Amino acid sequence: MRPVIEQSAAELARAVGAKEISARDVIEATLAQIDAVDGSVGAYITSLHEMARASALAVDRRIAAGEKMRLAGVPVAVKDNMCLAGTRTTCGSKILGDWIAPYTATAVQRIIEAGGIPVGKSNLDEFAMGSSCENSARGITRNPLALDRVPGGSSGGSAAAVASRQAVVGLGSDTGGSIREPAAFCGVTGFKPTYGRVSRYGLIAFASSLDQIGPLARTVEDAALIYEVMAGHDGMDSTSIDRDVEPAVTAMRSDLRGLRIGIVKEFDTGKLGHEIDALYKRAFADLRKLGADLVDVSLPTAEFGLATYYLIAPAECSSNLARFDGVRYGLRVDGADVGEMYERTRAAGFGPEVKRRILIGTYALSSGYYDAYYVKAQKVRTLIARDFQRAFEECDLIACPAASSPAFGFNAKSDPYSMYLMDYYTIPMSLAGLPALSVPCGSVTGEGAHEPLPMGLQLCGPLFSECALLGAAHAYEQASQHAKEYKLAI
Ligand code: GLN
C-alpha cells in the first residue's frame, strides 16, 4: 500500500470505511507530515492538531456504528477565510486579531458531516486579495515545488498544503482566480464551481457577487468528490442556487470524443513567450488526440475583464469590509471618540492592498462617479457574459491558460498592476459566473528557476456544466499524467 499521505481522498475514504486503516492513523500520518514540512512551507496559519485528533476518534466511532461516509477520515486544509466553530479565523489580516468563529461555514460543515477532518486553517492573501499570498499579515507561504517562489494566491496555503501532502484536499475561495492560479502554480487541480453552487454562508465576504468556494486536490476525481459533497442549496445563503447537483464523480470520462473545445482567438498564447506557447499548443493538441474537435471562438470583450473586475470587486469589498471597525470583531485601537477609534483600528488593522481596494471601491461608488465607474463596469460585465454565451453556441467547453506565467519569486511583482495581470485569464469566467478549473499541463523553466515549474490548463464551461468540465479534465489528466512530473523541493 502507498504511504497514507500519498493516497487520494477516494482511496482513503474507502479504506477507512472498510476498516483497513483507522481515521486516527490517517490523521496521525498527516499531522506528522505537517510537523516535518510546514516549518519550511508555511501553508497553515493555525494548525488544528488537537481538534483533528478528536474528530478522527469521532469518525472511527461513526464507522464502528456502521455509518457510511464519503470522506471518512480525509484530512482537509481549510482556507482561513472560512468559519470553523471554535477556531481562530484571521482572513490573513491583523484586523481580526484572534477572533474565534462562533459557527461553521456550510461548505465546511458538509465536509465534516461526510467524515472529512479539518487539519489546519491555511494561509491566504489578506481577505483573499492577491495572487501570491504575499499580502498576508500572517506570514509567507512558500511554493513546495520551488521554495524561493510564491505558491500563488489567494488560496496559496491550501494549494501548498495539498501539494506538500499536508492535507489530501483543500478548500479555497475564488473571486477572480484564487483557486485556479495557486492550483496551477503548485501543480494541483483547482476547481471553481458555477457561482451560487456552493453556499457562501460562513465564507467571510470579499466581493459577494463573485466569491465561490471550491476544492483543490491532487486528482480531478478528488476535486469532483469534494465538490459533490459541498454543493447544493443552502437556505442560509440567499444567492445559493436551488437546483439539483448532478453526480460529478460518476461523470469521469476517458476520452473527449464528441466534445467541441473552443480555443479563444483573443487569448493568443504566442504573447506568453516561446516555451509557454509551445506548452499550451501541446496541451490543445493532446485534447484533440483524445477525440475533441477544436474550434476557434471569440470573446471580444474579455480583454476588458481586468478593468471591470478591478472596479466591481473593490466596490463590493469597500462595502463588505465596513463591518471591521473595532466594535464587534477582533482588533480595537482606542481613540478619543468613536470616530477616532474607527480610524485608528482600520489604519492599524488593514494592510496596504486592502486599503487600496477600499479606497478605489469607495471612490467608484461615490456620488458623481457611480455611473461612470460602477454602472459602466456592470454593463461591461454583462457584455462579457454574453460573449461566453455566444461562444458556447459553437463549443461545449473552452480551453486556455490558467495563468500567464509559472510561479514567480518573492517581491517580483511589487507594483499592484503587475500582480493584477496574473488574473487576466481567470477573471472573465468569474465575471460571467461560470465554472472553471485548472489542471496540470506540464512545466516550464521559468525565469531564473533552478527547477521546472508547473503550469495549468484552464477549462471552462457554461453555467452548471460542472460534470462535463470535470469529466473532460479527468480524461486529459489520465492521458497526460503531468502531475507525476512535479518534484517536491522539501
Ligand atoms: N487575485 C485576484 C484579486 O486579487 C483574485 C482574488 C480572488 O480570487 N480571491 O482580487
**DSSP states of 379-401 as a string?**
HHHHHHHHHHHHHHHH-SEEEEE
Q: Is the CB of 423 under 6 A from ligand 1?
A: yes
Alpha carbons 159 and 216: distance in angstroms, whole number: 6
Alpha carbons 79 and 161: distance in angstroms, whole number: 10
The protein residue with its alpha carbon nearest to ligand 1, atom 5, reads 176
Q: Is the CB of 129 under 6 A from ligand 1?
A: yes
DSSP 228-252: HHH-S--TT-TTS--S----SGGG-
In the predicted structure, residue 1 carries a pLDDT above the cut 90: no
Confidence label for 451 from pLDDT (cuts 50, 70 and 90): confident
In the predicted structure, residue 341 carries a pLDDT above the cut 80: yes
In the reported structure, the alpha carbon of residue 156 is separated from the centroid of ligand 1 by a whole-number distance in angstroms of: 11
Q: Where are the beta strands (DSSP E) in 316-446?
A: 397-401, 436-444
How many other CB atoms are there within 10 angstroms of residue 400's CB atom? 24
Pocket test for ligand 1, best of 91, 129, 321 (most atoms within 8 A of CB): 129
Confidence label for 448 from pLDDT (cuts 50, 70 and 90): confident
Q: What is the pLDDT of residue 453?
A: 96
Is residue 79 part of the annotated active site? The answer reads yes
Strand partners, 174: 212
Task: Read off the pTM.
Answer: 0.98
Q: Is the CB of 176 under 6 A from ligand 1?
A: yes
Is residue 443 part of the annotated active site? The answer reads no
The protein residue with its alpha carbon nearest to ligand 1, atom 4, reads 130
Q: What is the pLDDT of residue 449?
A: 75
- Residue 215, C-alpha cell as written in the block: 476544492
pLDDT digits (tens, 9 = 90+) for 384-404: 999 999 999 999 999 999 999
User: Is cis: bond before 199, omega within 30 of 0?
Assistant: no
In the predicted structure, residue 2 carries a pLDDT above the cut 90: no
Q: What is the pLDDT of residue 447?
A: 75
Index of the ligand 1 atom closest to the CA of residue 178: 8
In the predicted structure, residue 76 carries a pLDDT above the cut 90: yes
pLDDT digits (tens, 9 = 90+) for 308-318: 999 999 999 99
Q: State mean pLDDT over 97-112.
A: 98
In the reported structure, the alpha carbon of residue 183 is separated from the centroid of ligand 1 by a whole-number distance in angstroms of: 13
Does the CA dihedral 447-451-452-453 come out positive or negative?
negative
Q: Is the CB of 130 under 6 A from ligand 1?
A: yes
Tell me the domains of the chain and their CATH numbers: 4-251 (3.90.1300.10)
In the reported structure, the alpha carbon of residue 176 is separated from the centroid of ligand 1 by a whole-number distance in angstroms of: 5
Index of the ligand 1 atom closest to the CA of residue 128: 9
Q: How far is CA 328 from CA 42, 96, 351, in A?
A: 29, 10, 19
In the reported structure, the alpha carbon of residue 129 is separated from the centroid of ligand 1 by a whole-number distance in angstroms of: 5
Options 122, 155, 164, 178, the catalytic residue: 178
* Cell 484552464, residue located: 458
Confidence label for 446 from pLDDT (cuts 50, 70 and 90): confident
In the reported structure, the alpha carbon of residue 402 is separated from the centroid of ligand 1 by a whole-number distance in angstroms of: 13
In the reported structure, the alpha carbon of residue 29 is separated from the centroid of ligand 1 by a whole-number distance in angstroms of: 33
In the predicted structure, residue 450 carries a pLDDT above the cut 90: no
Q: Is the CB of 84 under 6 A from ligand 1?
A: no
Pocket test for ligand 1, best of 126, 150, 178, 211 (most atoms within 8 A of CB): 178
In the predicted structure, residue 383 carries a pLDDT above the cut 90: yes
Index of the ligand 1 atom closest to the CA of residue 153: 1
In the predicted structure, residue 68 carries a pLDDT above the cut 90: yes
The protein residue with its alpha carbon nearest to ligand 1, atom 10, reads 129
% pLDDT > 70, the chain: 100
Q: Is the CB of 128 under 6 A from ligand 1?
A: yes
Is residue 155 part of the annotated active site? The answer reads no
pLDDT digits (tens, 9 = 90+) for 147-189: 999 999 999 999 999 999 999 999 999 999 999 999 999 999 9
